[in-house]
Copies of this chain bind each other. A is one copy, B any other.
């Protein structure tokens, strides 16, 4: 029987919203937001979208009117009572009351701020100006909207069965990857795929398949809404925006150099345990580790992001050993461009030498490569990054020069300051 009420309700939708909850975002956004809320809420920070896969002209697939409708819909959202209860009552990484009452109260009253949108050269320039605590919240929903509108644009007009078989193939592919993951001893893997997912329903499917297929080896999802609904742990730590803004706000070279460590000092006032994970690559991993204060080596782990993961993992282990720490008690989290082959190779290489964690993103929740002609659903490398703080440009160097960001002159200044050794650019898939 058709559920008439559901059908009639669906008929009357103006749009089919992509983001339906303030919690449909990554957990690290809330963790960082709380840190920002406590210390830097009124810093004026601009975020902007950048599609690094320039060959894909997003404006060819996405109607600007539909994009506006989706973004405007996000601005109508507010945290629901049940979502607020989940944030207040849940255990995260074994800790209760990770979020303070004043932060949750702020989030309850939060509304997404306005945006600026322009179509330029087949791409969308989408920019968010305002207090850091507000603009930071746009990163994940804006990316999820652009990616899902693209998927919808590509799949529009496909036949019902053609579409079903496309999803059947994608499901089979995910499941085959999960079957291979089951063979890895002591695996800990989570979903980091919100921002570049094919779509919300698809991410939700992938998470459920991971739950059934991997059992406890699947440690959770970065997506708060899916974590709530599927009753798994919300996973995440922090990202480059913190050192980028801290460095931009610095008034002297000495303060700029100190900024990445200031981030960690603030962070460990707010969080403990598994949340004490260093992200060392914003201005080059090697120098960051070499100059890190002693207390940094007592942190739980390191997230290897833009560096070659084998090199980055070895570097972390060497560093801990040099600092008298036992790598077997330390956590190395890989999260950049992971897919099943790389995870298997990393696991073979590092298993038994260090605790391992995998944050599996785009190629978990958006691997439709080859499933439509001309690679029209191949994932793209699109980011929403902080651009300036209190009027000063922000800079990211990263271990892979392809991922460097900021005005050229500022990038040069940071390179000199951080004694950044020239590296060969690596292609960025996702």
* Chain A residues within CB distance 8 Å of chain B: 1-3, 5-6, 9, 159-162, 164-165, 167-169, 171-172, 175, 208-209, 212-213
Contact = CB atoms under 8 A, between A and B. Distances in A.
A381 to B, nearest CB: 28
Contacts of A9: 1
A169 B168 CA distance: 7
A6 to B, nearest CB: 5
Contacts of A160: 208, 212
Given A161-B209, A165-B209, 5 more contacts: A1-B3, A160-B208, A162-B212, A165-B175, A167-B168
7 contacts: A1-B3, A3-B3, A161-B175, A162-B213, A165-B209, A168-B175, A172-B172
A213 B172 contact: no
A163 to B, nearest CB: 10
Contacts of A175: 161-162, 165, 168
A2 B160 CA distance: 23
Contacts of A3: 1-3, 6
A162 B176 CA distance: 10
Contacts of A171: 164-165, 168
Contacts of A5: 1
B208 A161 contact: yes
Contacts of A2: 3
Name A's interface SS: helix
Contact of A172 (B165, B208, B212): B165
Nearest to A167: B168
Contacts of A161: 175, 208-209, 212-213
A206 to B, nearest CB: 10
Contact of A159 (B1, B167, B212): B212
Contacts of A1: 3, 5-6, 9
A114 to B, nearest CB: 34
Contacts of A212: 159-162
Contacts of A159: 212-213
A2 to B, nearest CB: 7
A172 B166 CA distance: 8
A171 B9 CA distance: 31
A172 B169 CA distance: 6
A182 B164 CA distance: 18
Nearest to A1: B6
A352 to B, nearest CB: 30
Given A1-B5, A3-B2, A6-B1, A172 B168 contact: yes
Give the top 7 A-B pairs by smallest Cβ distance, nearest first: A168-B168, A3-B3, A165-B175, A168-B171, A161-B212, A1-B6, A161-B209
A165 B171 CA distance: 6
Contacts of A213: 159, 161-162
Contacts of A172: 165, 168-169, 172
A215 to B, nearest CB: 11
Nearest to A3: B3
A169 B213 CA distance: 16
Nearest to A169: B172
A213 B166 CA distance: 13
A159 B215 CA distance: 12
Contacts of A162: 175, 212-213
A168 to B, nearest CB: 4
A175 B166 CA distance: 10
